Amino acid sequence: MRYHNITKDDMLNGEGLRVVLWVAGCAHGCKNCQNPITWDPEGGLPFDEAAKEELFAELQKDYISGVTLSGGDPLYPGNRKDMTALAKEIRETFPDKKTWLYTGYLWEEVSALPIMKYIDVLIDGRFIEDLKDPQLHWKGSFNQRIVDVQKSLEKGTMYLYPAE
């Protein structure tokens, strides 16, 4: 897996103060995407042990609410195995921190993936420029949904977070 950046003290990509991992690789090609540089799965840097240590050092801080996995697309097929392992390790190491994940895939397409056991909130759906609204909270376009993953898995039906 490769990544482009680790953003510290982020307030825009999920609830609370967060650390954001921006991974490489995306096949959606959304028009006017905010991060087209992250589309190339061979772009950026290898997510090595030093990068993981940097991410985990941020998560150790009491005031950090959790991690947001974004990109690119963390669920790009080439990222799924490594992202699942990373999300599992984050959950085991920081059980009180919340993990958010942004993907262009729909909940219905990814809900059965093993990584979902370790994700708290999923923002799904491609960015659609014609549905863009800068006033939207935690998403770029109206079609995107903010899914309470654990409640959805538990109940067997999709629940939005917070109730919309």
Helix, strand, coil shares of the chain, percent, nearest 5, are 30, 25, 50
Round to whole Å and give the CA distance between 61 and 41: 30
* 103 vs 75: CA distance, rounded Å: 6
Q: How high is the pLDDT of residue 164?
A: 47
What is the per-residue pLDDT across 10-54, written as a single tens digit (0 to 9) for each?
Answer: 999 999 999 999 999 999 999 988 889 999 999 999 999 999 999
Average pLDDT over residues 88-103: 98
Looking at domain 2-155, its CATH class is: alpha beta
Contacts of 2 (CB under 8 A, 6+ apart): 23, 24, 25, 41, 42, 43, 44, 45, 46, 47
Going from N- to C-terminal start, the domains of the chain cover 2-155
pTM of the full structure: 0.95
CA distance linking residue 109 with residue 111, whole number of Å: 6
35 phi, psi to nearest 5 deg: -135, 55
Distance CA 52, CA 78 (A): 18
